[in-house]
Amino acid sequence: MATSFNTVVISVFFLVTCIFVRFSHSVAPIFTGLPITLNVGENENTNRILYTLTVTDPDGDSFTCSATIDTGSFFQIIRDPETAEWKLLTKSPSFNANTAPSYTITVTCTDLHRQRESFILICACTPTECIYFTSQATVSKNALNTGSGIQIFDVNAVDDSGDVLTYYMTVSPSTVTSFQIDASTGIVTTTRELKYETQSTTTLLIRATDGKIYVTEKLVVTLTNMNTVPTITNLPATKTVSESIAGGTTLFTLSTYDPDSGATKTMAFSLASAASASHFTLDSNGIFKLATGKSLDYETTTFYNVSFTVNDGMATGGPYILLLYVENDNEPCSFDRTMYYASTSEGAAGSASMSPGFIVSDPDAGATWTYHLYNANNSDRFTINSSTGSTMGFAVNYDIDNNVMPSKVILTVLCKDNGGSTGVIKTGSTQITITITDVNDNTPTFSASSYTIYADQYDSPGSVLGSLTVTDIDSGSNALYTCTATSTSANFATYSINSDCSIYLAKTISFDYGTTVTYIAKAVDQGTASLTGTTTVNIVYRLSGTTTVTTTTTTTQYTFFSRAENIAVFSLLLITALALIAVLLYICVQWCCGSRACDWFRPTNRPTSPTKVKPYTPETPVTPAESITSIAYKEENLPPSQPYRSIRYHNGIPALNGWL
């Protein structure tokens, strides 16, 4: 051939025609990364990798590839069992650049649906060019004791023309980083101790080039005595926990496996967010817990994606994913306050006058609840609107008078939910302080419907003749009352019934014994819409029995005359007095009968000496009944006993004169 052909160049042109053949919904495999030109030496060996096809099936169907060569049989298409790639290799070639400078190869890949994609190779060759190196080498290494930087293979290629060679390497799987090749020497070394390598078989595609042709050989590195990557053996894919579990609860205990003796395993976990990760803890025994003080809440987070790893100091097993689902529990309803307050007045059964203003919430979607009174503190005396809780009232006639029922009650109020998703009814509680105020519903009542009070000749203005007893069982101002009195009797101004319901002699009596003065006494309480009790008071003026006085006197005289000297003095005084009287009588008879009628014997019903009782001057002026001013007065605040009142005795029994 012409000198222009002294270099045989086998040029392979890949003309790619993508022919999509569609059957039904399927798409044929597609070639990419083309066209490409490969220069191959005339003296090339058999099984030399010329080209790795990049072909994929968009449907994910598996497919097979084959080649059709226009002349000869020096090429083959083979699927690499390690990498699953389809490769174009030489097959017992006997290239001759003069007689067959080029070849046309049609590669066809067919998927399950019998669809195919084809492309055409055109080869042109130049002679006497080849790069030689050992083909299909396999290297085995002890992973445990192969250090970093150790040579595991020397490509040691030779170029026919003595050209300088350059080396490249691709690694499969590409994740393996334990090997490297020196571009100028072709020496493959380890980049790290192989105990860290977890891939037992690695395919190195080593490429040598002199700048004109490219030769690729496959080197398979297998490792023995590898470190076993530790594993977590018991992690389920999912786990469901109740949102109600307490902080510190163990969620899971990890089991790990590492057959290597002396392996120290360290477990770790991670979550997408640090905030979520802070919810959990994992200790050196593999115990995975909800962190102390943390809680789960379905309404906030329904699941956690937890990733676990285990490391033995050389290799990391995992990640193992656990989807931790949070189960929606029925959570209790709750009140917004721990104590509410309401006030109402005494009321009849069935009346409902309190609006407690309960505010209740429940975290569960669609939750409803009802209101109840916890059975304590006589809660059965009260009612509550069970569906709304908006009103409360009385179940009984509520009466605080006379302390029959308390005026302040603390009740426990419950909300009960509908059971939510679990059907387990949950209860929330609060308390309410109810203050029940008094209603003026009791009339002040006198202890008798009529009274008879006595005044006698010994009473002087200011004397207390008696007191009226009044009862009002209401409380507070409703129980305070004042007395007033009216009278149509003559002489009504002689006596006084005061606001404190005591009866006084107001002025000197100027009428006869046996005279009765009658009053209508009223007790009026201070309630709004005051109530009035009424009684009749008869005050009788009577002569206090002389027997009484005599008895007293006799008793006194007995004591006096029991002494002899007293008798003597008395006799002396008596004689003197009698003499004096006799003289006075004589003078009087002489004077009176001589000039006027001797009428001084005329009888009288007035006591000659009304001063046996010490005259009393009241500390405060006593006002007659008609001008009583209101004085707050309560039963228990009875006025102190009257120190100025001397009790007279009648037959040894205290005279009931005016005292009730």
Ligand X SMILES: *[C@@H]1O[C@H](CO)[C@@H](O)[C@H](O)[C@H]1NC(C)=O
* Binding residues vs ligand X (CB under 6 A): 305, 307, 321, 323, 374, 376-377, 410-412, 431
Q: Which two tokens stand for residue 327?
A: 């189960």
- The neighbour count for residue 242, using CB atoms within 10 Å, is 13
Contact call for residues 308 and 255 (beta carbons, < 8 A): no
* Strand-pair category, 158-159 with 187-190: unpaired
Alpha carbon distance 432, 377 (integer Å): 12
Q: How far is the CB of 316 from ligand X (least distance, A)?
A: 14
Strand order in the sheet with 303-311: 238-242, 316-327, 303-311, 266-270
Separation in Å, CA 568 to CA 118, 319, 557, 560, 610: 173, 135, 14, 11, 29
Task: Return the number of other C-beta atoms located less than 10 Å from residue 357's C-beta.
Answer: 13
Nearer to ligand X among residue 386 and residue 554 (C-beta): 386
Least separation in angstroms between residue 308's CB and ligand X is 10
* Smallest separation (angstroms) from ligand X to the CB of 364: 25
Beta carbons within 10 angstroms of residue 117's beta carbon:
24
Q: Which helix (DSSP H) or strand (DSSP E) does residue 594 occupy?
A: helix 564-595
CA angle 319-321-323, nearest 5°?
165
Q: Give 20 or 374: the residue with its C-beta nearer to ligand X.
A: 374
The tokens describing 412, both together, are 């426990």
Q: Which is nearer to ligand X, 249 or 378 (CB)?
A: 378
Residue with Cβ nearer ligand X (7 or 270): 270
User: Of 118 and 377, which has the nearer Cβ to ligand X?
Assistant: 377
Tell me the closest approach of the beta carbon of residue 375 to ligand X, in angstroms. 8
- Give the shortest CB-346-to-ligand X separation in angstroms: 19
Question: What is the nearest approach in angstroms of ligand X to the Cβ of residue 199?
Answer: 22
Q: Are 67 and 14 in contact (CB under 8 A)?
A: no
Q: Nearest CA to 12 among 272, 153, 177, 213?
A: 213
User: Angle of helix 564-595 relative to helix 546-561, nearest 10 degrees?
Assistant: 130
Least Å distance, CB 414 to ligand X, is 10
**What φ, ψ does residue 128 adopt, rounded to 5°?**
45, 50
Nearer to ligand X, 36 or 321 (CB): 321
Our CB check for ligand X shows the closer of 199 and 377 to be: 377
Q: Cβ 406 to ligand X, closest distance in Å?
A: 8
Q: Which candidate, 44, 46, 67, places its Cα nearest to that of 121?
A: 67
Q: Which amino acid is at 115?
A: Q
- Count the neighbouring beta carbons within 10 Å of the beta carbon of residue 545: 14
Name the minimum Å distance from CB 213 to ligand X. Answer: 45
Token representation of residue 372: 């109840």
Q: How far is the CB of 444 from ligand X (least distance, A)?
A: 31
Residue among 158 and 323 whose Cβ is closer to ligand X: 323
Paired tokens of 526: 């201070």
Q: Residue 63 or residue 371: which is nearer to ligand X going by CB?
A: 371
**In 513-641, where do the E strands start and end?**
516-525, 532-542
Nearer residue to ligand X within complex by CB, 338 or 651 = 338
CB 182 within 8 A of CB 206: no
The one-letter amino acid code at 383 reads T
- State the Cα–Cα distance between residues 143 and 224, nearest whole angstrom: 6
**Closer to ligand X at the Cβ: 383 or 443?**
383
Shortest CB 93 distance to ligand X, Å: 48
H helix runs in 468-563, sequence order: 546-561
* Residue corresponding to tokens 């004791």: 145
Q: What DSSP line would sit under 9-58, residue for residue? A: -BEEEEEEE-----BTTB---EE-S---EEE--TT--TT-EEEE--EE-T
In the complex with ligand X, which residue's Cβ is closer, 305 or 508?
305
Nearer to ligand X, 240 or 550 (CB): 240
Tell me the closest approach of the beta carbon of residue 45 to ligand X, in angstroms. 46
Token representation of residue 364: 């569960």
